[in-house]
């Protein structure tokens, strides 16, 4: 898409930075298990015909939207904000209004489909916006006994305010 060096330099300027503060959560607790059984979620990608006679799939009874999204703005130099969970990067795309790429992370827990995306503000390179999608239904496996980490997070939150 960006490969084409055609029009893509004048429009695209809807820069809405109406980010919510760490205290503003507009959403209800919708367990992100909507796709837990996604084990059957196969991808008819490269291999076109996965199951020609298989028409039972696609039980899209659930709405793919309605996913609570929590955005947090943090002042940090690194985008790798460790919140105590294990994340696996599954993609990276560039944003139109941002010269910095956006990183997509996913929780590596079984049954935990929590997603997280980190993006930097082109306006303020020192600001990192972390958007969490879904909720964790498992304990943190990180050693919380490390006071240094706690202090780090405390500083982050303190800086945020």
Partner DNA sequence: CGCATTTGACCAGCGC
Partner DNA sequence: GCGCTGGTCAAATGCG
Q: Which residues bind DNA (CB under 7 A)?
A: 1-2, 4, 6, 8, 42-46, 48, 86-93, 95-96, 102-104, 106, 108, 115, 117
CB of residue 89 to DNA, shortest distance in Å: 4
CA distances from 145 to 21, 109, 116, 127 (A): 28, 21, 24, 28
Q: CB-wise, 23 or 88, nearer to DNA? A: 88
Structure tokens at 77: 């130099």
CB of residue 144 to DNA, shortest distance in Å: 18
Q: What are phi and psi of 106, to 5 degrees?
A: -140, 145
CB of residue 84 to DNA, shortest distance in Å: 14
CB of residue 150 to DNA, shortest distance in Å: 21
Q: What is the DSSP letter of 112?
A: B
Q: CB-wise, 35 or 154, nearer to DNA? A: 35
CA 74/CA 71 separation, integer angstroms = 10
């Amino acid at each position: 898409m960006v490969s084409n060096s055609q029009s893509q330099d004048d429009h695209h300027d809807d820069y809405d930075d109406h980010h919510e503060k760490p205290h503003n959560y507009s959403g209800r607790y919708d367990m992100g298990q909507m796709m837990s059984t996604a084990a059957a979620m196969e991808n008819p990608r490269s291999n076109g015909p996965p199951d020609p006679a298989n028409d039972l799939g696609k039980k899209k009874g659930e709405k793919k939207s309605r996913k609570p999204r929590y955005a947090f703005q943090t002042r940090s130099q690194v985008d790798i904000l460790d919140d105590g969970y294990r994340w696996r990067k599954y993609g990276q795309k560039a944003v139109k209004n941002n010269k910095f790429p956006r990183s997509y992370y996913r929780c590596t827990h079984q049954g935990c489909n929590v997603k997280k995306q980190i993006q930097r503000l082109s306006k303020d390179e020192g600001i990192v916006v972390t958007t969490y999608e879904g909720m964790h239904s498992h304990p943190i496996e990180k050693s919380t006994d490390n006071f240094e980490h706690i202090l780090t997070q405390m500083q982050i939150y303190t800086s945020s305010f």
